[in-house]
Amino acid sequence: MIQLNATFDLQQDVISSILKKEETARATTDVSDPRILHVERDGGVLYCWRGATGTTRIGKYDPHSKHNKLLYTFDKQVCVSSCSLNKEETLLAVSLTQKHRQEELLRPVSKCLTLLIEIHPINNTKVLKAVDCRVRVQFLHPDSVQTSVLESHLLLITEDGYVDQFHIMLARHEGYRVVMLNPDRLAKDRVAEDFSWVQWDSQNQRLYFLTSRERNMECVQFHPQRNCETVFELPLELPCNPFSSMSFVHLGFDHYYEDGREEGISLVVFTDKTERSMCVCYSHPVYSRKEVRYTIAFVHKGCSKTFTVALDQEALCSSTNLQPLFFHTGHYVVVFLAGHFLHLLNTRQQDLLCYSFFLSGSDACLGEVGGSYVGGTHGGSSLLELQSGRMYTPTISSAHLMDFLHAERPEAQRLATLQCMLVYKGAEPEVERQVIDWICGDVLSFHSFDQIQEFILASLYRITHQHSLCLDMLLPYSSVFQKKELPVALTMIPGVKCTPALLPQPLFKGKFRNKQGFWTELQCVCERVKTLETLEPNPRFRTAHIQEEWSKVQAGVSSEKRKASHQRHLEENTKKVLSMVDTCRLDTSVVPLLFQEEDPQQKGLIGTMVDKLREHLNRHLPQLGKKRTDALVVNYVAKLLELVHHMLELLWHKYNLGPQVLCLKQQGSPEEWSVFHVMLRILEATKGLGLPLPPGYNSLLAVLGLKCVCRHSFLQFVDHSLLQLTEPFVSRLMKDLDNSDENEALKFSILKRLPEPMLERVCHLWDHPVSSACISRNYVSQTLQNVQIHQNQDKIMGFGLEDPEHSSLWPDFLPLSYLTKVLSDLEKKALNPFEEQENVDARFVEETALKQTLIELRLEDKT
């Protein structure tokens, strides 16, 4: 799971280089006892070694230029326990551990001697402190500030529990020599005192320490203008006497104090400027070798989690140290206990255990250094193996993550893997493509979560999180929280007990100079968390909020049941979203029909989602303002549509589909069937969350469905609302398919399932007698209704029906007009039997009538 990338090798990067130089100079080549001392802010590694003539030398390795530089040489063998170099590389601070020799037992010798040495060039050496306790030295490396004064600032951290800051004024002589001004009168300040644990953050120039009495963790921030201030304080519920001696963290490696190992519990602080996060990690005293306890305090989330892990008794035989190692990579805090477990905790999504990894057995290893003592350095983002002198940068391996997805593992681990790949690694196109391939190829569904729903929500969360961190607690990142009851498989880890707790509110002190700085932003995050928890226990937006509106859109609710203003409002929302969709990608898109249809159903759902999400953000973050809230909401929904379109594009490229997809006369290929299956799963996933789809999606799905499944199954899909008979699809069907018996039966079946308004619009597209009769019948019915309306209007206006100039009996439909005219002419020519006629032989008429009657009654022969 964790991949270690080597960044420094003492043997290859230093020793071999030293040997080459000494061989070139024909000097005695002997390099013994090389040791890493410290890592500065710029990544430079300070180290020492012993030469052939009994000297001790200190050098620096530059990781950028890959060059080594000799800093200083002691003419005798000394024990360097701490070392630091100023930013300009003109001063070197060294703390030496002095051991009593046999002949010096009667002479008082301090255990620790701290020196300040001029090395540009080597000139003067000043003793800063000679005490009987350990001392760590650390130069401040402030950000570049334009100043005409040359000065450096040095911290002395002592085992007695106090920190002094020395202000060293420098002067430049002869154009290149840098020397100290008044080295005998260096100004110093007391920064902190009475503490039992201290940690240096080189990247951000901060000093954390734990007060001995109150057991509060405080932080001192150092500024470029030679001043510092206490900016943060957090009470911690630590066990009594957590440290038997002073604990130094990230202040170099003392190889002469029990091999660099500190006694007591492990305590370390991790911060992330981009994430605005802070995590305090500490272990608990080991009272029994059956279990290990450790706590992760998520300061930016206002909570902590204490884990109790049962240890494998068979692996205890080879384990001597049961204090775990803490380090971090990305937004994961890693807890490692060699031979037992590897726990990766998600600092963004700490709500459930299923978003973190807990690995044991053969999975719980750190590559080559899995079995040896490892120390964290450089802010906890690098690892040092002291025995071999190698440094590594830990990262989460994408290849291992893909193996986890494909392997038969518990669903909680596969969910954590999917979330990690989408949120942490999702910005890499290759990783995203591999995830989509896995989703498309994995036909098995999970009981605890839906892969496509996780892909959509997690990807949207990552994209939105990059633009606005304030939405971190308000937008969903997983479909698990949409369930009424959480599956047990996602809430428990076998052999691990998790105890959550609320953290006390941290105290922010000082006047933050940078309004956009880390402490200001962390304070805003903590206050926002407190406010949201007060208003609502779970403030994340739930897609269930739009389920009712979704049902209305699905049912095709007419605008008469809504206010006209609300309908126009939804239409405006939809227009804003579609205008935000990346038109450049759509112009080169290989997926047909998407964003090319009106699709009033999906557009109505888009507008409804915008409305509901805007309402949610306005309720929880009113300080954002209307303009920014609208922009965030519209962008969120637009990214949702683009994400679905992106998935289909990858499918189109994967299966090499072309324009023939839309041809209904051809049978569906295996590739088209695979795409149809994935699109059907996407439809089910979005429907389950109540999310909209790009306009035209249902038409494309219906085309693929008609080609890939039999006609009977297709109609069943329609009846069960898995497929929708959209007007563009039915129009294409009527035009493309001929009138064979099978196609004719299909068209009749589809026409029966259409609503009346759509039937009237698409019926004329089918060249068939039935459709023509239907068109004529509808038109005659509509025309006669219009005639009746006109007659009523004529009566009201006082015109008689016999007035030919105002008569409405002549419709525009030619067949009906001709029929009416013929009947009218015949009526005019026919004789009226009630009118008297001239020259009529009445006798003849009577005889003729009698004769016809006899013929009809068949009585003519009898007469």
Give pLDDT tens digits for 461-496.
Answer: 998 887 777 788 889 999 988 887 888 888 888 889
Task: Say yes or no to pLDDT of 82 above 90.
Answer: yes
Predicted pLDDT of residue 857: 74
Task: Say yes or no to pLDDT of 796 above 70.
Answer: no
Predicted pLDDT of residue 730: 92
Please tell me which residue, 307 or 509, carries the higher pLDDT value.
Answer: 307
Structure confidence at residue 806 as a pLDDT band (50, 70, 90): very low
Q: Are 324 and 335 in contact (CB under 8 A)?
A: yes
Structure confidence at residue 309 as a pLDDT band (50, 70, 90): very high
Tokens of 705: 């469905």
In angstroms, rounded to a whole number, what is the distance separating the alpha carbons of residues 606 and 697?
13
Predicted pLDDT of residue 301: 92
Task: Say yes or no to pLDDT of 349 above 70.
Answer: yes
Please tell me which residue, 96 or 275, carries the higher pLDDT value.
Answer: 96
Predicted pLDDT of residue 486: 82
Three-state DSSP class for 511?
Answer: coil
Structure confidence at residue 260 as a pLDDT band (50, 70, 90): very low
Structure confidence at residue 54 as a pLDDT band (50, 70, 90): confident
Where do the DSSP E strands lie in 437-502?
496-502
Please tell me which residue, 863 or 58, carries the higher pLDDT value.
Answer: 58
Predicted pLDDT of residue 788: 61
Please tell me which residue, 469 or 435, carries the higher pLDDT value.
Answer: 435
Which tens digit of pLDDT belongs to each residue from 501-529? Answer: 999 999 998 776 555 689 999 999 999 88
Q: Give the mean model confidence (pLDDT) for residues 186-213.
A: 92
Which tens digit of pLDDT belongs to each residue from 283-300? Answer: 998 888 889 999 999 999
Which tens digit of pLDDT belongs to each residue from 377-388? Answer: 766 788 888 778
Q: Where are the domains of the chain?
A: 546-697, 776-863
Task: Say yes or no to pLDDT of 639 above 90.
Answer: yes
Which tens digit of pLDDT belongs to each residue from 764-784? Answer: 777 777 667 666 666 666 666
Task: Say yes or no to pLDDT of 312 above 60.
Answer: yes
Please tell me which residue, 510 or 201, carries the higher pLDDT value.
Answer: 201
Strand pairing of 91-97 and 112-119?
A: antiparallel
Each residue of 702-716: b (16+ CB within 10 Å) or e? bbbbbbbbeeeebbe
Contacts 24+ apart (CB under 8 A), 729-733: 729/698, 729/699, 729/702, 729/703, 730/754, 730/758, 730/762, 731/762, 731/765, 732/662, 732/664, 732/699, 732/703, 733/664, 733/706
In angstroms, rounded to a whole number, what is the distance separating the alpha carbons of residues 178 and 138?
20
Each residue of 71-98: b (16+ CB within 10 Å) or e? bbebeeebbbbbbbbbbeebbbbbbbbb
Structure confidence at residue 855 as a pLDDT band (50, 70, 90): confident
Structure confidence at residue 27 as a pLDDT band (50, 70, 90): low
- List the one residue out of 444, 403, 437 whose CA is nearest residue 420: 403
Predicted pLDDT of residue 443: 63
Q: What is the mean pLDDT of the chain?
A: 84
Predicted pLDDT of residue 212: 77
Predicted pLDDT of residue 863: 46
Which tens digit of pLDDT belongs to each residue from 669-710? Answer: 999 999 999 999 999 999 989 899 999 999 999 999 999 999
Question: Residue 818 is inside which H or E element, if any?
Answer: helix 814-829
**How far apart, in Å, do the first and last CA atoms of the chain sit?**
119
When mean pLDDT is compared across 9-23, 414-428, 810-824, the lowest value belongs to 810-824
Task: Say yes or no to pLDDT of 795 above 70.
Answer: no
Q: CB-hemisphere CA count at 13 Å for 751?
A: 19
Structure confidence at residue 624 as a pLDDT band (50, 70, 90): confident
**CA quadruple 560, 565, 569, 571: dihedral positive or negative?**
positive
When mean pLDDT is compared across 248-262, 625-639, 662-676, 799-813, the lowest value belongs to 799-813
When mean pLDDT is compared across 143-147, 470-474, 556-560, the lowest value belongs to 556-560
Dmax over Cα atoms in the chain, in whole Å? 173
Predicted pLDDT of residue 322: 84
Predicted pLDDT of residue 146: 58
In angstroms, rounded to a whole number, what is the distance separating the alpha carbons of residues 502 and 127?
48
